[in-house]
């Protein structure tokens, strides 16, 4: 209410009286709050109204969370209407712009001699013969703020930056479908290898997140997906750090699935105070498979001694089992495993002992193949180990891209 509107209201309380009469007629209980700005004497200045309207809308929203806010674009000066329309397009919460025509569907100039009772009595909306017509019209418009931020979020989703996408959408959260937030949080947990939380969030969104369902296979598969993301996005330092644990788990799973060797159970002990750290023991090898221990002694210059369980200590077991006459004779697996272990050995130490970026050219110079080729080799060995997950035409290694496409489709719905 500008200075002039306040003056008119003070004459006979016309705005409140008519509003109350309408509420009474419609049996509607409504609280009327006057927002008086008597210091505003020039309603033609756009920059006066924008901050005022913005503040009042935010206050209304904060005081009434989850409410539906309707804003009339048909009353006031053109500057007022423009400010209201712009706010409806840019607020970080839904505001519904409404246009309203006068009862006679023409301009309403008012009267110099305004009579409160006569005006209400002669209001065409109160004529019993004419009846009441809905003179409101929803202004079709999308919130521009949300559209801009949505596109920024989509760019981050395509770059697998889920935490950034969540941060961007947080300021317009009321426009975002609830399942999208759950999916983005699931994706973030997935990328952090927190698979339990990822599963919980994806269920809330009713989305089947994991192509590989079983425990150890799922964890290994998801880790290989993460390495693939790091390789594709050029995060080669992180990628290199992940090669050793990936190969260790890959070799262990292969030995269990194809060679029927429960490596941790039969040949290892836990390190004290480190429940996830295993120690390959000479005496256990001797107890379970003396011929295997003989092969280990041949493979190590001074004979085999108790060692950390790693891809380097698992490789002799794969060689022993994949040779002709072994538990799973397969020359191709044998050569792939030896070559991947060689790559891991060549790249691990330079990356671990130098605080420098790892570049693709340097990677190829050190190991003789591209980082992408190493990813493909690890994926190939996973497929040999778990062929049951590759019975369909669907490319399971494309799981992150399919997830991103679904999230984006829900954002644009």
**Direct distance between the N- and C-terminal alpha carbons of the chain, in angstroms, rounded to an integer:** 39
The two three-digit tokens of residue 253, written as one number: 């799973």
CA dist 288 and 280 (Å) reads 12
Same domain, 134 and 234: no
Is residue 100 in some structural domain? yes
Is residue 154 in some structural domain? no
Is residue 106 in some structural domain? yes
Question: Residue 328: what pLDDT?
Answer: 95
Question: Residue 351: what pLDDT?
Answer: 58
Phi, psi of 364 (to 5 degrees): -65, -35
Structural domain boundaries enclosing 230: 215-393
Is residue 84 in some structural domain? yes
DSSP 411: H
For residue 187, give the nearest of 165, 168, 219, 212 by alpha carbon.
165
Question: Residue 305: what pLDDT?
Answer: 95
Same domain, 263 and 388: yes
Question: Residue 293: what pLDDT?
Answer: 97
Same domain, 245 and 336: yes
CA dist 118 and 133 (Å) reads 21
The two three-digit tokens of residue 311, written as one number: 């891809």
Is residue 62 in some structural domain? yes
Q: Are 198 and 189 in contact (CB under 8 A)?
A: yes
pLDDT average per 10 residues of sequence, the chain (413 residues)? 87 87 86 88 76 89 90 82 83 85 56 65 64 62 79 93 94 91 97 96 95 91 97 92 96 97 95 83 96 96 94 97 95 97 87 69 92 97 94 86 96 89
Same domain, 348 and 227: yes
Same domain, 366 and 244: yes
Is residue 402 in some structural domain? no
Q: Among all chains, which residue has been given the structure tokens 């937030």? A: 181
Which of 109, 138, 167 corresponds to the end of one domain?
A: 138
CA dist 264 and 261 (Å) reads 9
Phi, psi of 285 (to 5 degrees): -60, -45
Same domain, 117 and 235: no
Say which residues have a Cβ less than 8 Å from residue 16's Cβ, sequence separation at least 6: 9, 32, 34
Dump strand ranges (E) for 47-94.
69-72
Same domain, 122 and 256: no
Phi, psi of 319 (to 5 degrees): -60, -40
Same domain, 100 and 236: no
Same domain, 240 and 129: no
Phi, psi of 35 (to 5 degrees): -100, 95
Instruction: Look at residue 194 and give its three-state secondary structure.
Output: coil
Burial of 226 (0-12, 13-18, 19+ CB in 10 A): buried
Is residue 43 in some structural domain? yes
Same domain, 219 and 347: yes
Same domain, 219 and 133: no
Cα four-point dihedral sign 165, 167, 173, 178: positive
Same domain, 127 and 228: no
Number of independent structural domains in the chain: 2
Secondary structure in 3-state letters for 84-128: HHHHHHHCCCCEEEEEECCCCCCCCCCCCCCCHHHHHHCCHHHCC
Is residue 338 in some structural domain? yes
């Amino acid at each position: 209410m500008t200075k002039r509107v306040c003056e008119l209201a003070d004459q006979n309380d016309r705005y409140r009286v008519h509003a109350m009469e309408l509420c009474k007629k419609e049996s509607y209980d409504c609280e009327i709050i006057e927002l008086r700005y008597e210091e505003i004497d020039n309603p033609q200045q756009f920059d006066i109204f924008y901050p005022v309207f913005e503040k009042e809308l935010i206050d209304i929203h904060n005081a009434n969370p989850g409410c539906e806010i309707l804003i009339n674009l048909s009353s006031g000066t053109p500057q007022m209407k423009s400010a209201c329309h712009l706010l409806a397009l840019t607020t970080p919460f839904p505001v519904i712009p409404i246009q309203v025509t006068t009862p006679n569907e023409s301009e309403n100039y008012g009267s110099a001699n305004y009579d409160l009772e006569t005006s209400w009595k002669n209001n065409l909306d109160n004529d019993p013969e004419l009846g009441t017509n809905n003179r409101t019209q929803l202004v079709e418009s999308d919130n521009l703020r949300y559209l801009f931020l949505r596109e920024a979020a989509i760019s981050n989703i395509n770059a697998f930056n889920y935490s950034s996408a969540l941060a961007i959408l947080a300021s317009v959260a009321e426009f975002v479908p609830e399942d999208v937030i759950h999916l983005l949080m699931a994706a973030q947990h997935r990328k952090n290898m927190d698979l339990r939380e990822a599963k919980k969030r994806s269920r809330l969104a009713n989305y089947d997140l994991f192509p590989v369902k079983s425990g150890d296979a799922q964890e290994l598969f998801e880790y290989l997906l993460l390495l693939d993301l790091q390789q594709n996005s050029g995060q080669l330092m992180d990628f290199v750090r992940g090669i050793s644990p990936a190969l260790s788990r890959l070799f262990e799973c292969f030995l269990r699935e194809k060679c029927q060797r429960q490596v941790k159970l039969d040949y290892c002990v836990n390190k004290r105070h480190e429940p996830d750290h295993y120690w390959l023991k000479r005496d256990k090898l001797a107890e379970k498979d003396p011929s295997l221990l003989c092969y280990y002694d041949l493979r190590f210059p001074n004979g085999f001694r108790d060692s950390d369980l790693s891809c380097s200590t698992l490789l002799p077991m794969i060689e022993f089992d994949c040779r002709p006459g072994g538990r799973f004779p397969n020359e191709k697996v044998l050569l792939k495993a030896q070559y991947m272990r060689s790559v891991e050995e060549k790249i691990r130490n330079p990356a671990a002992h130098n605080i420098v970026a790892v570049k693709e050219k340097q990677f190829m110079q050190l190991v003789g193949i591209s980082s992408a080729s190493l990813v493909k080799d690890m994926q190939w060995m996973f497929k040999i180990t778990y062929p049951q997950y590759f019975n369909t035409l669907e490319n399971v290694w494309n799981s992150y891209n399919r997830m991103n496409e679904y999230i984006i489709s829900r954002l644009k719905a």
